Amino acid sequence: MRERRGSLLGGTPEPGLARFAGAVLDDPAVFGGGADRATATRRRDAVAYGYLGVVEEYARPGSGERWRLLTVTMPGGVPRLVVDHRSALDRPGVPAPGATPVPFGDAAFDDAGFDDAGFDDAGFDDAGFDELYLVTADDPVAARRILTPAVRRLLVGAPVQRLELQRTVLALRSFDAAVPTADADDRLAGLAEAILRTAPCFVASGAWVGLPGAVVTAEDLPAGDDPLLPGRYGRLDTEPTDEELGHARSRRLTATLVALAALAVAVAAVLVLVLG
């Protein structure tokens, strides 16, 4: 039944190999940073807070180190935000390039007016959080909005090597281990769900949010402290509903139409250059 559900929703049945299986990858951004190279060895469909995701296992060539990377697809754009555990600093891809450090325990940062925007940091040791994690973001205000004291407590209580928001994806990377624990996938999915339940909604709507180069800022996010509404998907060991299947088909059709439109634009541009 789980296998049927994965195929009907357009995903890979569990268990299965990742699309990069057997290939040596050399872009740390693909596999959560922390290594110069990695080989994908395993892939499982997952659900977190009702949103579809994938857990992939990676191995570092020439060593026994393995880790898991959960990626969850959000229903809109998210601000670029990376939270790196300091034990991984100076490894390949850590910290994430091109973003601004956001020190939560910096008095000057608080004096810049972020507390006036409605962030309540009372009762939480920001200095302790900063000792454990390095936060980088394109928009520090958005980072402050998302990483509330409650979310920071979750990350302190259930540490991960990396939390990343990018484009339309939430990603969690586990620490390296010779043999990942049997519940490693569930731990990542549980933390993702807890974050989505706890943080004020950080998903922006609009056709532009998924475009290359699009930057989501705090001004694009919904007002208020309400979290994101749960997604439409349940556990993967249940039969998909007609509504779930309809949404899955609609997303695939939309993705196909967008790809065809992009191809048409590219062909038109080439013709203009050729024909002058």
- Whole-angstrom distance, CA of residue 180 vs CA of residue 6: 23
Where does the pLDDT of residue 6 fall: very low under 50, low under 70, confident under 90, or very high at 90 and above? very low
Residue 10 has pLDDT above 60, yes or no: no
Q: What are phi and psi of 29, to 5 degrees?
A: -65, -25
Percent of residues, the chain, with pLDDT higher than 90: 57
pTM: 0.74
Q: What is the percent of the chain with per-residue pLDDT over 70, rounded to a whole number?
A: 75
Cα–Cα distance between 23 and 195 in angstroms, integer? 32
